Amino acid sequence: MKKIVHQAVYDTLADWETGHATAHLRNGSWHREPGAYEIVTVGLTTDPVVSMGGLRITPDLALDQLSPDDSALLILPGAELWDGGHELAPFARKAREFLAAGVPVAAICGATAGLAKEGLLDDRDHTSGAVQYLEAQEGYAGAKRYLDQDAVLDGDLITAGPTEPVAFAREIFRRLDVYRPEVLDAWFRLFGRSDASAFEVLMTA
C-alpha cells in the first residue's frame, strides 16, 4: 500500500512553498522505495479553494475526516489567511493531534504562525521567516527555541520560512527517510544550489 502524505489546501495558499516536496515525493525518482507515496489534499471542507497564484483546487477530503492513523505526514503551506484571523486554526489543532500521535507535521511560512498560536513551537526547535514574526503571534512563547536556519527538523516537526521551499522539502525527505544520505545531499545541491556536479550522483543513484 502507498503511504499517504496529506497536504492542507485553503484559499490564498502559497503555491510555491510545497511544490518541491509533493512533486518529488510523488515522482519516486531516486527513492529508497519508488512509488511509495501518494499526495492527498485536505480542506476545511471539500469545497474548492483558490491559491495565491489563482489555481483552483478541489480538496480530496475534509479536515474532519483526517486522522493521523491514515497518514505519513501533514504538510501545512503558508497562506494570507494565517495572518488574517482564526479561520485556519482547525489545521493547527489537527497538527497538535498529529504530533501527539507521533506523525510528523511540516509547516512553512504563515503556517508556522498558526502553530505558534497553538503553542506547538514553545518546546521544539523551529524556524520561520523571522523570530519577530512569531513573537507577534498571541500565545507564542518559543523564542528561546527559534533557530535562524533555512529549515529545521526537531523530532516530528519540520519548519521553514517562505524563501526556503527546497530546504523545507529536504527536511521532509530526511524525516521520512526517502533518500539515502548521499542522494539527499545531491538532491539539495542540485535543486537548492544549482550545483551541476550533483546531477551525476542522482543519475547513478
Q: Which residues are catalytic?
A: 109
Q: Are 51 and 78 in contact (CB under 8 A)?
A: no
Q: At what angle do helices 110-117 and 89-100 cross, to 10 degrees?
A: 70
Sequence-distant (6+) residues with CB within 8 A of 168 are: 17, 18, 20, 21, 106, 108, 151, 158, 160
* Residue 76 cell numbers, joined: 501545512
CA distances from 105 to 7, 34, 90, 158 (A): 10, 22, 14, 6
Displacement of CA 90 from its chain's centroid (Å): 16
Radius of gyration of the chain from its Cα atoms, rounded to whole angstroms: 16
Q: At what angle do helices 19-27 and 165-176 cross, to 10 degrees?
A: 40
